[in-house]
Amino acid sequence: MRTDFAGRRAPLFWLALKTGLFTVLTLGIYRFWMKTRLRRWYWSAIRPGGQPLEYVGDPIEKLLGFLIAVVILAFYIGIVNLLLMFLSFSLFQGNGAAYLLSFLGVIPLWFYARYRARRYILARTRWRGLRFGLAPGAWGYAGRALWHWTVTLLSLGLLLPRMTFHLEKYRTDRTSYGTAMMVQGGRWQMLYPAMRPLFGAAALTGVAALALNFGPTPAPGIGLAMLAAAAAVYGLVHYRVRTLEMLTANKTLDGVALTLDASPFRILMIHVLGYLLAGVAILLPLMVLGFVIMGLHFAELATESGATQIVLLENLPRWLLIGVSAMLYFTIFLIWSALTHTFVTMPVTRHYARGLRVLNPARIEAIRQRPRDEVVQAEGFAEALDVGASI
């Protein structure tokens, strides 16, 4: 069973621009409606077997969950930071230790929030009328994520595949579609081939360091360092895409299997060219506006009397200048958000969707509906910590 993607750029651009404008006009309150409408657009565009996904999330759930999470986080962070600051000044005569410990204390909440956001999204996603779901386990995920990240950092990244596999297995083995539970098969060692470009980038980095320290001139070392940086960027994208393919190929759902065909180079080019196009679309009008203002400035300076010098800006009320500046800033922000949806998020989603295949789809007919998960607080913690802002 193939998967199609039916979305087009123009409707998405205007939807993102319009909902972004409403978000600014309501001082951010419409953000929850904006995200809901954008998700419904993306979900309806992804069509496995010609039948679209359905997103049934409620903006009110998101708003209430966000308000509850903000109150809890404000109390937690306020009390914890107060105690840490007291201890830091008492023991170390400074606040540096308090800031460091405060940052480290938020990391578990970040993993906790990501898991809860994923659970809410799956609980509000349907296909062929059946609900997806994710079992509770946010704190378990946060603890495992902290452990695996610590081990990965201590191994200088050599155990990155181990972390990738075990965290994905924890999430996948708790994911359900209707009454069927998903299972992540395979072993973590199978992900090591995806590390080859990263190993190459590490080798180039070592050669660049030798050339910079012992070479007759720094030019070759600088060139090798730039090449190593480019190789590292591609290596990260390659690792992400290839591990996603391998993990997807080893997932099963009550006899149903999946395959994914994606190109790391294509994903990288979508990001590079997409952000480049968005940046050019933003900068060109600003450059034109800047040249116009400079032209008026020099034209006024060229007059003999100078009576009209900078009259255009000097005589405007201060509140109007602030208002125009704020409008210009938010206009740039809104257009950038709409353009990145159009040239980055949508093409990446389309590429992954069209590469997805469902094997043995006849087994889906035996799957039945599951009870609805309430998921109290929705994505509140993810919104408050700004890790749930993505589609």
pLDDT of 93 over the 70 cut:
no
* DSSP notation for 262-321: --HHHHHHHHHHHHHHHHHHHHHHHHHHHHHHHHHHHHHHTSSS-TTTTHHHHTS-HHHH
Q: Which residues pair with 144 in a beta bridge?
A: none
SS3 assignment, position 47: strand
Give, as one character, the DSSP assignment of residue 341: I
Radius of gyration of the chain (CA): 26
pLDDT of 352 over the 70 cut:
yes
Q: What is the mean pLDDT of the chain?
A: 85
Terminal C-alpha separation, the chain: 25
Q: Which residues pair with 21 in a beta bridge?
A: none
pLDDT of 276 over the 80 cut:
yes
pLDDT of 310 over the 50 cut:
no
Q: 67 and 29 in contact (C-beta within 8 Å)?
A: no
pLDDT confidence of 250, banded at 50, 70, 90?
very high
SS3 assignment, position 71: helix
pLDDT confidence of 268, banded at 50, 70, 90?
very high
Distance of CA 25 to the CA centre of its chain: 24
**More confident of the two residues 270 and 85:** 270
Phi/psi of residue 134, nearest 5 degrees: -140, 125
pLDDT of 128 over the 50 cut:
yes
> Which pLDDT score is estimated for 90?
66
pLDDT of 124 over the 80 cut:
yes
Phi/psi of residue 108, nearest 5 degrees: -60, -35
> Which pLDDT score is estimated for 308?
47
> Which pLDDT score is estimated for 340?
93
pLDDT (average), residues 291-304:
60
- At 254, which amino acid appears? D
Q: Which two tokens stand for residue 264?
A: 């790391």
pLDDT of 176 over the 70 cut:
yes
